[in-house]
Amino acid sequence: MTDDGRIRCGWIDNARLKEADLLLYRDYHDTEWGQPVRGSTALFERISLEAFQSGLSWLVILRKRDNFRRAFDGFDIERIAGYTDRDVERLLADAGIVRNRAKIEATIANARAAVDLDVELSDLLWSFAPADAARRPRPADVSEVAAVSPESTAMAKELKRRGFRFIGPTTAYALMQATGMVDDHTADCWVPRPSPATS
């Protein structure tokens, strides 16, 4: 395996991974995970992929992400909101994605819920980011990283109230971690805190 000498969060360097998968995982960790993501399309993609990941390894989703983008029209909310039963069948036949009817139908329902929002999806999601996130100490190791938080519980509850599916408190917290609403890189991880200018 390639060792570049950098210390990363403990969930990354897994000796059981093939080198190509390890490099894919490292690149995601080093350049995306925990970096602030804004914009409704980008966040809708992340919500959708987090829902598809439920019960699976995130690596499965990373390997298929380009296929998901192709299959779901770049996660264009308006287009997905207009999907019909024919699109569901098309997606169920697409071996490039996770073919789970409940998750596919939830993605379409979530697009329709997003279209009906009276606020931008990005603004709604970021309204649940902890106010002290930039000042909170990083966890010493992965054992200190929470699976849920009061904010993720509140986010999931509000999204459910607004018609979203497949987004419970754990999925909401994973979304918050992945999109920089919280910084759960471990204290010894080489990835620097995001600049306040980017969050």
Query: Which residue numbers are catalytic?
Result: 28, 50, 58
Angle subtended by helix axes 40-53 and 101-115, to nearest 10: 160
Would you say 61 and 52 are in contact if contact means Cβ atoms under 8 Å apart?
yes
Would you say 182 and 131 are in contact if contact means Cβ atoms under 8 Å apart?
no
Report the 10 Å Cβ neighbour count for 133: 18
Angle subtended by helix axes 58-71 and 40-53, to nearest 10: 130
Query: How far are the Cα atoms of 7, 26, 27 from residue 19, in angstroms, in the given order?
Result: 17, 10, 12
Q: Give me the sign of the Cα torsion angle 173, 179, 182, 188.
A: positive
